[in-house]
Chain A
Amino acid sequence: MGIVQALLSVFLDDGDKLRCINAGRLRITFLLRSPLYYVCASSWGEPESVTRSHLEYLHLQILSIVTASQLRRIFERRTNFDLRRLLDGSEPFLFSLLGRMELDLAMATSSLNCLQLDQSLRARVAEALVPTSKMKDTLYIILVARGQVITLVRPKKHSIHPADIHILVNTVYSPSIVNSPASASWIPVCLPKFNPAGFVNAYITFLHRPDTDYKSYQRTTLENNESADITGASHVAENSHGATSRHTTRPIEDSGIGLVCISGGSEFETVRAWCDIVTQKLNDDGSLDALARAVDSGKTCYFASQLGIPGLRHFVYKSRPHVQITLPAFEEPYDTLDAKRRIVTLYQIVHDAIHAKSGQTGNLKLQYIRTEKEIVMGWITQPFELYVVLSPRLPKAAVINAANAVTRWVKKEEGQLFLRDAPVF
């Protein structure tokens, strides 16, 4: 702490220009979001812009808990206020965010990665979520599964910023909520991109919970997961890697389908009654069952090998008009945590270079990296950004062909890969 304090005073003397310090493999990155300073020491080799965006998300998550105006007021009154007092009990949100950011490419590309789903089923479900006129003050209604958005219903006049969705989804899937034995939660939350000054309320309920016993659940996840932290007993202790602390909460695959209703009002009984009706409706018309079957059978994700493109191992495709990405599930040789981290870092490096995010001289159209193990290429055009990972032995012409083949495939499957034409009210 003392060292950080000293570094911060340097930061201040410098007129807040200090962005990062490189010391060998270690990089200390600073972010000032007044009245808070964020500092991260990382030896992971990710671009500076990535660390900064992680700190930025951390800040947004903190705002979601306390709001910007509350934060400002408190520090105006008492400059030495210990923020931990205000955040008491909400640490799990921060830990699950840190765990999520590590591998989440939607967050890294400031976009949304919705659940792959049959177009007509998605549309049918969305129709059921359009609120009645009695539900005044409704802001957004979001259906999620496996930590991904299924559909999102919003008022005509309010779009939703991807960062707000990420903060919200992280909140919904933090252990305090998703592990709660309660049938629903009603929590005040600030959506910082929507309005950093005030709270809205979120009604959160999981519709299809597996019958798995809660206890045996914890046991299996502990066995399966490399760094499962379900018991939460030692949150900060086991931080073995240099970068932001890594915490995974229990796997979110099996938590069912989450219905989230964001309301500007405080009529929770009205919201609860409406959500009960919606749940009943989804149950009666079979869409909940269809959703659950799709999720359970793994139809909501795909693998790069299914595309049948020679040498293709993985890719990330961002549809720029939709501000959404699609990507296959990680498979061999990227199915271990370390391999995933490595490939995600490579994606981040290429993304950083293309967008000139870390002070490079100009944007690029194409970036090609070749490591011993693979080729990574990033390519940006008007309608899309594409990042592909291929076998290192592939000639350049084949790399271009593969990239074109991926875009053709995405175009063909667009209907189920992206969330389009969700109803507004």
Chain B
Amino acid sequence: MSKQFQFKLVLLGESAVGKSSLVLRFVKDQFDDYRESTIGAAFLTQTITLEDQTTVKFEIWDTAGQERYKSLAPMYYRNANCAVVVYDITQAASLEKAKTWIRELQRQADPSIVIALCGNKLDLSARRQVTEEEASKYADEEGLLWSETSAKTGEGVNAIFNAIAKKLPLTAPPSARGARVAASGAPRQSVDLNRQSTAHGSEACNC
């Protein structure tokens, strides 16, 4: 009987670098030229089988890249066993943003988190602004997995998730590894449910 593992994975990175496209390629082997921006976070799962017949199920939180969702990210990475931080090889600024995410993960996330840095849009390499050397050197220094992918052609997509699976501790079930840190969430405006709602009165729906 082969072993089965389950891990939580979070995708982070600037908006429009292709996080959702990367997941869509990985999970459904599809690509859309036009995608709506992700709002909040989207949940997907995918199971892969490694060479030794070990199966790894990824529970993926694909987060929105927009600035206004930034404060929500800890909610997702605090529970995560692994993170894919995505940048766009045609946008130098997106690598800087990725580095910011990586620093935040190194500071705030579970110390054993496996981080992969992923340069997407390899199909647009003619417009490349980030060299392979630059990114791979940074990844080496920080001890990250690194590769380039194209969600559009599919190149490198499965490989990076496979690489993550292999780097995860496939010995103990992940639940034993403190993956269930209480997700108290980032400090943000919260709502007191005991407060009387303003919806009372004749306007309110009587259902």
Q: Which residues of A contact B (CB under 8 A)?
A: 65-67, 69-70, 85-86, 88-90, 92-93, 110-112, 114, 137, 139, 152, 155, 157-162, 164-165, 174-177, 179-188, 193-195, 197-202, 214-215, 231-233, 264-269, 272, 321-324, 418-420, 422
Decide yes or no whether B50 CB sits under 8 A from chain A. Answer: no
A202–B205 Cα distance when bound, in Å, is: 20
Decide yes or no whether B125 CB sits under 8 A from chain A. Answer: no
A188–B62 Cα distance when bound, in Å, is: 14
A323 and B189 in contact (CB under 8 A), knowing A89-B15, A89-B39, A188-B72?
no
Contact: B205 with A269, CB < 8 Å? no
Contact: A185 with B44, CB < 8 Å? no
- B residues near A89, Cβ cutoff 8 Å: 15, 36-39, 64, 66
- B residues near A184, Cβ cutoff 8 Å: 42-43
Give B185's nearest chain A residue, CB to CB.
A266
A323 and B198 in contact (CB under 8 A), knowing A67-B189, A90-B37, A197-B189?
no
Stretch at the interface among B24-32, B92-100, B106-114, B135-143: B24-32
Residue pairs across A and B with Cβ atoms less than 8 A apart, 7 shown, are A88-B15, A90-B39, A92-B37, A186-B42, A199-B190, A231-B34, A266-B75
Contact: B37 with A137, CB < 8 Å? no
- A-B pairs with lowest CB-CB distance, top 4: A187-B40, A89-B37, A266-B185, A182-B42
A176 and B38 in contact (CB under 8 A), knowing A67-B189, A161-B199, A195-B191?
yes
Contact: A323 with B203, CB < 8 Å? yes
Decide yes or no whether B79 CB sits under 8 A from chain A. Answer: yes
Q: Which residues of B contact A (CB under 8 A)?
A: 15, 24, 27-28, 30, 32, 34, 36-45, 61-62, 64, 66-69, 72, 75, 79, 183-185, 188-200, 203-207
A181 and B41 in contact (CB under 8 A), knowing A194-B197, A198-B191?
no
Contact: B27 with A159, CB < 8 Å? no
A66 and B34 in contact (CB under 8 A), knowing A266-B184, A266-B185?
no
- B residues near A272, Cβ cutoff 8 Å: 43
Contact: A419 with B34, CB < 8 Å? no
Contact: A159 with B189, CB < 8 Å? no
A182–B206 Cα distance when bound, in Å, is: 33
B88 to chain A, nearest CB (A): 16
- B residues near A231, Cβ cutoff 8 Å: 34
- B residues near A265, Cβ cutoff 8 Å: 185, 190
Contact: B193 with A264, CB < 8 Å? yes
A65–B184 Cα distance when bound, in Å, is: 22
Contact: B207 with A420, CB < 8 Å? yes
A185 and B42 in contact (CB under 8 A), knowing A161-B204, A162-B205?
yes
A182 to chain B, nearest CB (A): 3
Further contacts, 5 of them, CB under 8 A, given A180-B42, A194-B191: A157-B194, A159-B199, A176-B36, A193-B197, A199-B188
- B residues near A160, Cβ cutoff 8 Å: 199, 204-205
Contact: B183 with A267, CB < 8 Å? yes
A194–B198 Cα distance when bound, in Å, is: 6
- A residues near B185, Cβ cutoff 8 Å: 265-266
Contact: B43 with A183, CB < 8 Å? yes
Contact: B205 with A161, CB < 8 Å? yes
A179 and B36 in contact (CB under 8 A), knowing A161-B205, A268-B75?
yes
A123–B205 Cα distance when bound, in Å, is: 18
Give B27's nearest chain A residue, CB to CB.
A181
A268–B184 Cα distance when bound, in Å, is: 10
User: Majority SS of interface residues in chain B?
Assistant: loop
- A residues near B68, Cβ cutoff 8 Å: 65-66, 86, 88
B179 to chain A, nearest CB (A): 10
A52–B199 Cα distance when bound, in Å, is: 21
A419–B205 Cα distance when bound, in Å, is: 10
Contact: B36 with A188, CB < 8 Å? no
B196 to chain A, nearest CB (A): 7
Contact: A322 with B67, CB < 8 Å? no
Contact: A268 with B39, CB < 8 Å? no
- B residues near A267, Cβ cutoff 8 Å: 183
Contact: B207 with A194, CB < 8 Å? no
B182 to chain A, nearest CB (A): 8
A158 and B193 in contact (CB under 8 A), knowing A194-B199, A272-B43?
yes
Contact: B197 with A269, CB < 8 Å? no
Contact: B193 with A175, CB < 8 Å? no
B170 to chain A, nearest CB (A): 22
Contact: A185 with B40, CB < 8 Å? yes
A70–B203 Cα distance when bound, in Å, is: 26
Give A322's nearest chain B residue, CB to CB.
B206
- B residues near A269, Cβ cutoff 8 Å: 79, 183
- B residues near A157, Cβ cutoff 8 Å: 194, 196-197
Contact: B30 with A181, CB < 8 Å? yes
In this complex, the member of B36, B66, B72, B189 whose beta carbon has the largest number of chain A beta carbons within 10 angstroms is B36
A85–B68 Cα distance when bound, in Å, is: 9
Contact: B39 with A183, CB < 8 Å? no
A197–B207 Cα distance when bound, in Å, is: 25
Contact: A232 with B193, CB < 8 Å? no
